[in-house]
Amino acid sequence: MPGFGRGEKLHTKGCFQFAGTTNDGSQIQIRARGQEGTERFDLVIDGEVARTFTTASGDYQTFTYTHSATVTPADIRVQFINNQYNPAQGVDANLEVDIFSVDGKACQTESPTVYSTGTWKPADGITPGFRESETLHVNGYFQFSDASYLVDTDADGDGEWSDVEPLGLIPIHAIVLPDGKVFSFGTTALEMQSAEFIYSIYDPETGVEVILPNTTDTDIFCSNMSLDPITGSVMIFGGDARGEGGPVNGPVNDVLVFDYTDMTIRDATQGEMEYDRWYGSSMTLPNGEIMGLGGTGGGEDIPEVFNATTGWRTLTGVNMNINYCYPKMWVTSNGSVVVMSNSGSIYRINTAGTGSALQIGTAGVPHSNTSPGVMYDVDKIAFVGTIAKIYVGDLSFTNPTFTAVAVVLSARRDGGMSMLPDGRVIITGGSTQFNVLGTAVYATEIWDPAINEVEVVEDIELGRLYHSTHLLLPNGTIWAAGGGAPGPLTNLNAEFNAPSYLYNADGTLADRPMITAAPSNVNNSDRFTINVDNANAVDRITAVCSDALTHAVNSDNRFVELNFTVIDGDTIEVTTLGANIMVPGTWMLFALDANGTPSDAAMLGVAMANVIDMPHLLG
């Protein structure tokens, strides 16, 4: 019968007549498939069925609908309507919904913000709730939310930046926690310098942030932090004296503990550091201890080592001459620590007992303490020099030297270098001149160490200058946030980059490998198994140590390639590395396919306290 049939098939000779007027409503796309190929589902908008679709088996299909008005994901449900189950005849109809998008903003159906009434799980059967699954096993629906920041189309093949997302403070300091959330602090809610009053927890999976009070009397502005493997908590070292009535930008020797399992902050019970430190660095050692170095306060040249069980010891045997300001340092494969001072002097430290140090050379190339750097392979570091070149060096050499291997757009002062799951390095933010907005770098660059080529990709929206933070998140996207206090911009916000590896060649979102099960904790030089959706499609297993960045310093961040063996169709055996290379702490474990598309990470605690998978933050 002629008319508005709300169908997508012509069953006899006939035609579709399309309207000639412009529709300013929302475009909705659903990528789905059926296990039997006969599954049908309704697209429900504001409680009304807008369109009914029929799936096919095999590859995902993209179903498109343009609504007459503007809607958001929270207005929409996908409802499975013709479930069939007859095991005697081998019939088991299930609807799989991979991705859902509204006006270019995509949501993964397994997101913890998606509510399901038709998903079965072994533990509790069919139970309505936030099931983190893309399958409806019986008639029921997915209810979406407005949380996602993933852009659904990469039109130019160079990745996509999200919209600017608001935050409750400027995240001058940020760390990826063992449960995948981001802990940050640095300013008040009114953009003023001070971390005495509040801190932030942000959940990348839901887009929800909570702001909580700092109940201690320590202003942790311009401190540093590292994850303590022994307790699993975040240790914060030093800060600003104003919290205790001292001078602004004066140092303190306070030590605080942030416990991600209850999101509280408190004074450490192991005592304070011997030296006050403001602008100091910290990093995890192979034995699970944490070393602090630098900062104003009189002890910038003298390292201190924290042990959660025995407390502090000062490395009085170390004799160095470095600049106080956030020195860069890395653990090497022989267990020593290499430190690069702002002046270019390079020292190798033995942290055993009271410690010792030997100057092993100078950088010999133009660099600054504000130059971002990263350990991109075992013993191999890279940093952006002050004349806009990438320099690399091998710290396993007795006397390391540095060589320019690539040219970049800018010196990237106070920008970020973050490891990607595929072993490349993404370079974001920064400026040519210190904190000058007119010299801000908006273009994003990706350096490939395998071929020493730099690709210029999509621009970021805002300048990310002094006091900005740059992190790899467990979902494979990049956090670029903050900047300001002081600054030409006061960025109480973040942007998220989805690199091109998350998209197909035609710009659509790629099907990603999926780690369906992994242990929460393993040891160094350990063998363990993970489950994946298709083991034969996994081409690489990599791991990236969770970021903890401030002031362009990210001492613990490093990348490793892991050996693995396919056991069967969904099981892979993986081998970790020794503690000098895979330092104790939280690592993001990725499975990559032959196209370089990574899975979401499994958060893997290596030689550390049990990793607790805490509930997601929901608005």
Kindly report which listed range (13-22, 244-253, 270-279) carries the lowest average pLDDT score: 13-22
From 2.60.40.10, 3.40.50.11060, 3.40.190.10, 3.30.1050.10, which CATH number describes the 515-606 domain?
A: 2.60.40.10
3-class secondary-structure state, position 437: helix
3-state secondary structure 223-242: CEEEECCCCCCEEEECCEHH
pLDDT digits (tens, 9 = 90+) for 339-372: 998 888 999 999 999 999 999 999 899 988 899 9
Q: Which of 140, 138, 147 has its CA nearest to residue 100? A: 147
Residue type, 230: I
pLDDT at 3: 57
Query: Does the pLDDT of residue 23 top 60, yes or no?
Result: no
Average pLDDT for 263-290:
96
pLDDT digits (tens, 9 = 90+) for 487-524: 899 999 999 999 999 999 999 999 999 999 999 999 99
What values do phi and psi take at 73, rounded to 5?
-55, -30
Residue ranges of the chain assigned to CATH 2.60.60.40: 27-148
DSSP bridge pairs for 359:
347
Contact 442, 409 (CB under 8 A): no
Are 346 and 363 contacting, i.e. CB atoms less than 8 angstroms apart?
yes
CA nearest neighbour of 243 among 233, 254, 234: 254
What are phi and psi for residue 475, nearest 5 degrees? -85, 5
Q: How far apart are CA 598 and CA 176, in angstroms?
A: 18
List every span in the chain annotated with CATH 2.130.10.80. 160-502
Q: Token pair of 603, please?
A: 């958060």
Q: Which residues pair with 560 in a beta bridge?
A: 543
pLDDT single digits (tens) 252-271:
999 999 999 999 999 999 99
Give the tens place of pLDDT for each residue, 428-460.
999 999 999 999 999 999 999 999 999 999 999
Distance (Å, whole) CA 60 – CA 40: 14
| CATH 2.60.60.40 is held by the domain 27-148 | yes
* CA 467 and chain centroid, separation: 18
Q: What percent of the chain lies above the pLDDT cut of 70?
A: 96
Q: Are 469 and 479 in contact (CB under 8 A)?
A: yes
How many CB atoms within 10 Å of residue 142? 27
Fold of the domain spanning 160-502: Methylamine Dehydrogenase; Chain H (2.130.10)
- For residue 410, is pLDDT > 80? yes
Mapped onto helix, strand or coil, the DSSP state of residue 243 is: helix
Instruction: Count the alpha carbons within 13 Å of 104 in the hemisphere toward its beta carbon.
Output: 9
How does residue 586 score in pLDDT terms, banded at 50, 70 and 90? very high
Q: Is the pLDDT of residue 20 over 50?
A: no
Q: Tell me, what's the pLDDT at 17?
A: 64
Residue carrying structure tokens 């007795």: 398
Hunting for tokens 């205790």 — which residue is that?
A: 244
Whole-model pTM: value is 0.89
What's the DSSP call for residue 34? E
Report pLDDT for 11. 61
Mean pLDDT of 173-200: 95
Instruction: Give the pLDDT of residue 4.
Output: 53
Which amino acid, residue 482?
G
The half-sphere exposure of 383 on its side-chain side, counting CA atoms within 13 A, is 29
Give tens-digit pLDDT for 65-124: 999 999 988 899 999 999 999 989 999 999 999 988 898 888 888 888 899 999 999 999
State the chain's mean pLDDT as an integer: 93
Residue 595, pLDDT > 90, answer: yes
- The CATH 2.60.40.10 portion of the chain extends over 515-606
